[in-house]
Amino acid sequence: MRVLDEGPPKDADRPASMGEFRSRDLFLVPSLLSLARIPLAVLFPFVLPSRASALAVLCLAGASDVLDGWYARRFGQATPTGAAVDPITDKLFVLSVVTTLVMTRLLPLASVLLLSTREIGEIPLLLWFLGSRRLRRARAARAAANLPGKVATCFQFLTIAAALLGAPYARSLLFTTAGAGVVAAVVYWTREVAALRHAPSR
């Protein structure tokens, strides 16, 4: 029986590994977990007077950061859209938390740079990722966990939790967080450049 030519594949049928952003991928579980950090970022300043509530928001954001990547790799739902949404929502949440803590004087202004070394190091990479279809395709094809990134996130949350609780070692944790952030940013850059070298040119 002759198979009729149905024309080019529709957006819904086009594989995510092609490096294209697709709005439908925002409704996949990993993307929804990442997007959950946006309302949490908005909520954080309002719950700060209650330390227990602020810590709960912090824990939920941390859990979503771990689960979105794990779910994407475990169930084959790594997409260029999800790979872009994850770091953007990470940075929005960190920005909200750090700004709130500085404005309420729970952390000194200078701590912003120390707490955000990973985010600062990744911003050029994120812009490159958003503008390069080939890099997005390489990321989707070679999705992998980044242990230094998770460690840096863990130290960020520990530092913020220590600041919320008024712990005397909060400032000491800042320098550990800064160091972990630098290592994570270097590993991110190394990994993406390596993935790009192995990616097909077209």
DSSP for 79-100, please give it.
-HHHHHHHHHHHHHHHHHHHHH
- CATH of residue 144's domain is 1.20.120
Q: Using one digit for the tens of pLDDT, what is the confidence trace for 6-24?
A: 444 444 444 444 567 788 9
User: Shortest CA distance to 64 belongs to which of 41, 80, 81, 48?
Assistant: 41
Write the Ramachandran bin of 132: left for phi over 0, alpha for psi from -120 to 50, otherwise beta. beta
Task: Report how many domains make up the chain.
Answer: 1
User: Tokens 């908005």 — which residue?
Assistant: 42
- The whole-number pLDDT of residue 150 equals 82
Tokens of 172: 């000491």
Please report the pLDDT score of residue 92 as a whole number: 92
Assess if residue 143 is contained within a domain: yes
Across 38-42, 47-51, 150-154, 192-196, least confident range = 192-196
Residue 73 belongs to a domain: yes
Report the range of poorest mean pLDDT among 10-14, 41-45, 86-90, 123-127.
10-14
198 — pLDDT class (breaks 50, 70, 90):
low
Query: What domain range is 155 assigned to?
Result: 20-198
The answer to whether position 12 is within a domain reads no
Average pLDDT, the chain: 82
109: pLDDT confidence band, cut at 50, 70 and 90?
Answer: confident
Indicate if the pLDDT at residue 140 is higher than 90: no
In a domain, 151, yes or no: yes
